[in-house]
Amino acid sequence: MPAASRIRAESDAQAIAQWLSEYAASPQTQRAYRKEAERLMLWLAASGLTLAELDRSQLQRFEAFLADPQPHERWVGPPRPRQHPQWRPFRRPLSAASRRQSLVILQGMFAWLGEAGWLSHNPFRLMRDKRRRLDNRQAPIERYLERPLWEWLWNWLNRPLADSATSRERYLHRRRRLIFGFAYLLAPRISEMATARMGDFSYREGRWWWRVTGKGARTERIPVPADMIALLGEWREGLGLAAQPAGDDPTPLIRALDGHRAIGDNQLYRLIKATFAEAALALESEASDGGTRPLSRQLARATPHWLRHTALTHQAQAGVELRYLAKTARHSRLDTTARYLHAEADEWQQQVAAHRLGEQ
């Protein structure tokens, strides 16, 4: 323990655990921060270093590692439970935006550990271009499905089942439609979907609202469009319930195969990813000339969070005002929400298109 330490910790891991405990009220944030801290700790262990020994040049090496974790077989693999022997800390090398986000999180961790007296220096402060490299708030959102691709996906999700479909297949079909419709219409985070309850939907003064507790344990009410109420009614009737929920119903919205139990974040994540993968294969098989291949690759790359980005981007494109978009997204800063505004870029492209080399 460093002499100046103001926390009770015997190791870097214990010190980081105390930092993570500050986010106990926001489990999603805590999980995201734990993932980035774990990647750093595993890299430090492989390099024979401790947190206190991380300097500016090694931080640069770590950033390069995030872009290309090598050896690949040691660091990169498909999603698996943390205890699985083939678990890996990366699903793929991190994009530039993901690397910036990782460094932002770790910069905050080092600042906290410095204030706690566990570390005597913060290597992030030595980055000359720190503001450009770490401020990712202005980067526009790119990981979303453009409207034609979303419309194809929704039509694919709604394709009729064969008359011979089993009751289990019909249940899974209804559940998948509910999950993707919910994600698109209300822009929830995946943890908010997994913890949603029937009673979170309520009818007040002639309108439906969704009560959600998100980051920072803040509870908000979000307007619910008619399409979501229709989906909810179909789902509930398939469960043998009345179409409209009661405000005091604590049962899970999204349920396991038994029709009663809730499903966890990880199971929901895998379900959505598997659906994207299945849809990608279906889209690619629709055209033999390869014209849909870029779109199918986009679906194959998509993650559950893309659905939230898609929802907010399409609302912005439909003309929803920034102040209301921020309320739906539950962002504390308008510049965070502004990353979903692509209309100005489209108009810019249209106007520049008139600038030609000559009359044609």
- 230 pLDDT band, cuts 50/70/90, is very high
pLDDT at res. 287: 66
| Residue 1 or 232, more confident | 232
Which of these ranges, 87-101, 118-132, 246-260, has the smallest mean pLDDT?
118-132
pLDDT(183) > 90? yes
- What is the residue extent of each domain of the chain? 12-134, 147-348
pLDDT(348) > 50? no
- 355 pLDDT band, cuts 50/70/90, is very low
> What is the C-alpha R_g of the chain?
23
pLDDT, mean of residues 24-38: 86
Which amino acid, 114? G
272 class by beta-carbon count within 10 Å (0-12 exposed, 13-18 middle, 19+ buried): buried
| 111-150 core/surface letters (b: 16 or more CB in 10 A; e: else) | ebbeebebbeebbbeebeeeeebbebeeeebebbbeeebb
- 333 pLDDT band, cuts 50/70/90, is low
Sheet holding 201-204, edge to edge: 201-204, 207-213, 219-223
pLDDT at res. 334: 45
Which of these ranges, 34-48, 237-251, 310-324, has the smallest mean pLDDT?
310-324
- 312 pLDDT band, cuts 50/70/90, is confident
- What whole-number distance in Å separates Cα of residue 249 and Cα of residue 201? 9
pLDDT(81) > 90? no
Which amino acid, 62? F
pLDDT at res. 144: 84
CATH superfamily ID and name for 12-134: Tyrosine recombinase, N-terminal domain (1.10.150.130)
pLDDT, mean of residues 289-314: 83
- 137 pLDDT band, cuts 50/70/90, is very low
| Inter-residue contact 208 to 229 (CB < 8 Å) | yes
Query: Topology of domain 147-348, per CATH?
Result: hpI Integrase; Chain A (1.10.443)
pLDDT at res. 180: 96
Q: What angle do CA 185, 80, 59 make, to 5 degrees?
A: 90
- What whole-number distance in Å separates Cα of residue 150 and Cα of residue 181? 11
- What whole-number distance in Å separates Cα of residue 113 and Cα of residue 121? 9
pLDDT(139) > 60? no
Task: Provide the percentage of residues in the chain whose pLDDT is more than 70.
Answer: 84
- 288 pLDDT band, cuts 50/70/90, is low
Which amino acid, 46? A
Task: Provide the percentage of residues in the chain whose pLDDT is more than 90.
Answer: 47
Classify residue 203 by its DSSP letter. Answer: E
What are residue 253's phi and psi, to 5 degrees? -75, -60
Expressed in percent and rounded to 5, the helix, strand and coil fractions of the chain are: 55, 5, 40
